[in-house]
A and B are shown apart, each in its own frame.
Chain A
Amino acid sequence: MPLSRLTAWLLLAPTLLLLVLVFLVPIGWFIGGSLAELGTLSEIWEEADAVLFSGAVGGAILNTNWIAALVTLLVLLIGYPMSYALSRAKGLVFTAILLCIVLPYFTSTIVRTYAWMVLLGRNGLINQILLGIGLINEPLQLMYNRTGVIIGMTYVLLPYMVLTLYAAMKAVDQRLLQAAEGMGASPATVFLKVFMPLTLHGVIAGVLITFILALGFFVTPALMGGPGDIMIAMLIEREVELTYNWPTAALMTIVLLTVTLILYAFYARISDQGEARR
């Protein structure tokens, strides 16, 4: 490490201070203040028990995990070959792929969602094409249900996976692949026995970051999902915005925050190991 520990801390200090002021203090204020409303610890525990094991919250937690897992799997399956292509591409092709991946970041969620409506709606482009070529007789329901949530979230989360995997793939020593080929390995074997294991830490990191982000999603499921596609963050938002039931929201926030932080700890470890191995 070329930077001394002290210098590093000094350089980080302004950012850390900002984060503490802008994120930690308000969250602390919100959680602390809301829980204080409930009263004693045992009263808090009682409320927690009632909130977390009530039908809606349990269902939302299940939904959240299931949707997050499914989206993560899809993002991995789509993202892996995409990252591979990106790690191999040069010049214009590279720029083109990268732009396609990153561009969605610069459009607002609302614009993006209306774009999805144009594509996926009952009278949208995809249904019209499928109806036109006679593949279906009735329009498919691609939006306002679980399918819509999965499509939307997969799209939004793809860049995180692709960029994480790209970093891991770019770090793979190309000479190792050539060496494997020279030692008699077929392209499939080179991929399975050398490339995949060498990018595994990237896969784990990508899966964790995608899953973590997916857990906290609420804009996309709210806009593209059906009535039953409620994720935990949406429930929190409802408790804050609709019922003004902040203690309940605070309790759910603690649960989500804890799970996220635990997963993040794993993520941090994995990426550290990835660094160390190089």
Chain B
Amino acid sequence: MTDTMILPRRLLLGAALATPALRGAKAAGEVIVRTPGGVYDDIMRQHVYDPFTRETGITVRPVAATGAKLIAMFRANNVELDLIDTGDKQLLALENMGALAPIAYDQWRWSKPEDIEPEVKKTYQCGNFTYATVLAYSKTAFPNAHPNSWAEFWDAGRFPGPRMLADAATGSPNFEFALLADGVPKDQIYPIDIDRALRAMTRIRPQIRRFWDTGALSAQMMSDQEVVLGSIWNGRLQTLIDRNAPLAYTWNEHMIQVQALGVFKDARNKEGAQRLADFMMQPNVQAAYAKQLIYGPTNKQAQQFLTAEEKARMPGGENSQRSGFYQNINWWEDNRDRVNRAWSRWVLR
């Protein structure tokens, strides 16, 4: 999940170029961690940061920062963060710039590396939970039959009404769903045929009320019935449903994305950062925060701390194995420029 989950990244941009010194006289035992901010920090403080401090005496300070700010820090040789808790794609970009240190799996003492899902356990980053982009619909607009696949989402004749998809500003527009709607099998989505995806997008564009660029906006548009269909992060939608909004979603054809941890190679408290990552990956710790975030744990052993009901609400378990697919961030990272140029031209048409 990118920082747009809670805070619009553009608000942070202004501060990105003129960075005040985050670290004054730094306490010897402090880890500064980049997080998406907001409610996320509260949940993590309760289940990760405070227990970590009690265990080690090392305090944890969460700060917000956009991807550009992280890059700016690295380039300016002024890394003010130790641990980065952000979307896997952003970490891949940092990794490609040579900004990251390998995750010290061999030093772990709380978590077992072999328990981590292989898809998210990488040399320079380790996924700390998964989230899914799902197809959501309004039960008011579709009380009986509702779209159950992206092909049906694209079928405005059968399922009329305004809808929304993700904007490139979220990190990736929903090309995967466009291709699925266009008949591409799930296992042949990558490498994405950008032109084909955009052609499919063009067909549905008149029905698109808005391409959402922040999680908050997507939730607002669904709950206001501004749209009756949309792609949305499962946690965002579940929160609305739990508040009795007349909304629902299907797990069919959901896309799994990863939030991950990385350590700046120039971090001042690299060791503390590695230890915090280790601590965060424990099965019971993961289960506790995943439950509240409604996102999926990446430690296989965490499943045993979850009830069947809780598992049904999360990606990563059986739900995902049956009907989801992992987003291929390597393709996105390799095609960043091409995608954004093509997208900008396409939206301006």
Contact = CB atoms under 8 A, between A and B. Distances in A.
Nearest to B228: A122
Contacts of A109: 11
A63 B9 contact: no
Interface in A95-143: 109-110, 114, 117, 121-123, 141, 143
B71 interface: yes
Contact of A244 (B67, B169, B220): B67
B112 to A, nearest CB: 35
A122 B225 contact: yes
A38 interface: no
Interface string B154-178: 0000000010000111010000000
Contacts of B76: 29
Contacts of B67: 241, 244
Interface of chain A, main secondary structure: helix
A206 to B, nearest CB: 25
A33 interface: yes
A240 B210 contact: no
A226 B68 contact: no
Interface string B216-232: 01001000111000000
A193 to B, nearest CB: 45
Contacts of B348: 55-56, 59-60, 63, 228, 230
Interface in A223-244: 223, 226-228, 230, 235, 237-244
Give the interface residue-count category, chain B.
35 or more
A242 B13 CA distance: 12
Contact of A219 (B10, B225, B337, B345): B10
Contact of A245 (B75, B226, B337): B337
Contact of B213 (A54, A63, A222, A239): A222
B149 to A, nearest CB: 24
20 contacts: A26-B17, A29-B17, A33-B75, A54-B341, A54-B345, A56-B341, A56-B348, A63-B348, A117-B224, A122-B224, A122-B225, A144-B209, A222-B169, A228-B349, A230-B348, A235-B344, A238-B340, A239-B340, A240-B16, A244-B336
Given A228-B349, A240-B68, A242-B168, 8 more contacts: A55-B348, A56-B344, A117-B224, A123-B224, A219-B11, A227-B205, A243-B336, A244-B68
A-B interface, 8 closest residue pairs, ranked by CB to CB distance from nearest? A56-B344, A59-B348, A144-B210, A227-B347, A26-B17, A55-B345, A243-B340, A56-B345
